């Protein structure tokens, strides 16, 4: 970085913080982000020109950062993170806003209760064992559950692409997991999304008696999957 650019950034000069020609928006993340009570999340501002394409925005360019519910979602003094208070109401939607030059950057946080949505998170397949046929040759690259009751399966994650998605119901007492695929870009003809889910001591997720499918057509079988962070 040139000395001139360094000086411009240090001063938060408009020219250094202006939106690039190919950028369409300034973001911290895409869509509402689920954050549990008592947890923190970093703020990494970036310009985006298309899904998955990001260009970092220098922190000095972020001005007038505000939270719509400062009593529950508090901004760190350096403006690089926010923390959800332990007493924030579950389901509360909080909007973060700031200025980047003449542009507005905005992000939404959905507060998740400490005991809500225990399966929530994004994981990748680390092991699989199937009955009634061979193990699938392509592992699930991303399995996402939200605390709001939605899920998505992707074999080869790329930008915001997902293979199929839908809703789920989980009974923590019986460990029963029932998923319903509602749409997708590549939905296998045969799926068995009713089985058992267990959270292991190391944070991994074990799914038993399900068939999440394959990216290419194949016969359904009963499989036991393990997913890790």
Nearest of 33, 17, 199, 59 to residue 118 by alpha carbon: 199
Q: Which residue has the tokens 């008592």?
A: 38
> Is residue 72 within 8 Å of 92, Cβ to Cβ?
yes
Tokens standing for 210? 């399900």
Where residue 52 falls (left for φ over 0; alpha for ψ -120 to 50; beta otherwise) is left
Tokens standing for 51? 């899904």
User: Which tens digit of pLDDT belongs to each residue from 118-133?
Assistant: 999 899 999 999 998 8
Alpha carbon distance, N-terminus to C-terminus of the chain: 35
User: Which tens digit of pLDDT belongs to each residue from 102-160?
Assistant: 899 999 999 999 888 899 989 999 999 999 888 998 999 999 999 989 999 999 988 78
User: Which tens digit of pLDDT belongs to each residue from 197-227?
Assistant: 999 999 899 999 999 999 988 888 999 999 9
Show contacts of 150-153: CB within 8 Å, 24+ apart. 151/179, 153/212, 153/213
Dist. CA 174–CA 8, nearest whole Å: 59
pLDDT at 10 > cutoff 70: no
* Structural domains of the chain sorted by starting position, each given as residue range(s) with its CATH number in brackets: 3-112 (2.60.40.1080), 121-228 (2.40.128)
User: Which tens digit of pLDDT belongs to each residue from 41-95?
Assistant: 999 999 988 766 789 999 999 999 999 999 999 999 999 999 999 999 999 999 9
> Is residue 212 within 8 Å of 225, Cβ to Cβ?
yes
By three-state DSSP, how is residue 54 classified? Answer: strand
By three-state DSSP, how is residue 109 classified? Answer: strand
H helical segments located in the chain: 3-11, 14-17
**pLDDT given at position 179:** 98
By three-state DSSP, how is residue 153 classified? Answer: strand
């Amino acid at each position: 970085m040139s000395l001139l650019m360094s000086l411009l950034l240090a001063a938060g000069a408009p020219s250094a913080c202006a939106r690039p020609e190919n950028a369409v928006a300034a973001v911290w993340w895409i869509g509402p982000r689920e954050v549990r009570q008592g947890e923190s999340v970093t703020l990494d501002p970036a310009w985006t020109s298309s899904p998955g394409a990001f260009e970092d925005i220098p922190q000095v360019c972020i001005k007038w950062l505000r939270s719509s519910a400062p009593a529950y979602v508090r901004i760190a003094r350096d403006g690089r993170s926010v923390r959800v208070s332990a007493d924030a109401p579950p389901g509360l939607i909080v909007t973060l806003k700031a200025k980047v030059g003449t542009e507005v950057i905005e992000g939404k946080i959905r507060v998740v209760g400490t005991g809500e949505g225990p399966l929530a998170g994004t994981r990748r397949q680390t092991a699989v064992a199937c009955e009634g046929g061979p193990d699938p040759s392509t592992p699930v690259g991303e399995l996402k559950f939200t605390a709001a009751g939605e899920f998505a399966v992707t074999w080869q994650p790329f930008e915001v692409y997902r293979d199929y998605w839908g809703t789920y119901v989980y009974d923590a007492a019986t460990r029963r997991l029932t998923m319903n695929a509602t749409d997708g870009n590549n939905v296998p003809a045969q799926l068995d999304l009713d089985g058992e889910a267990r959270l292991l001591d190391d944070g991994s997720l074990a799914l038993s008696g399900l068939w999440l499918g394959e990216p290419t057509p194949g016969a359904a079988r009963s499989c036991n999957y393990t997913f890790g962070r």
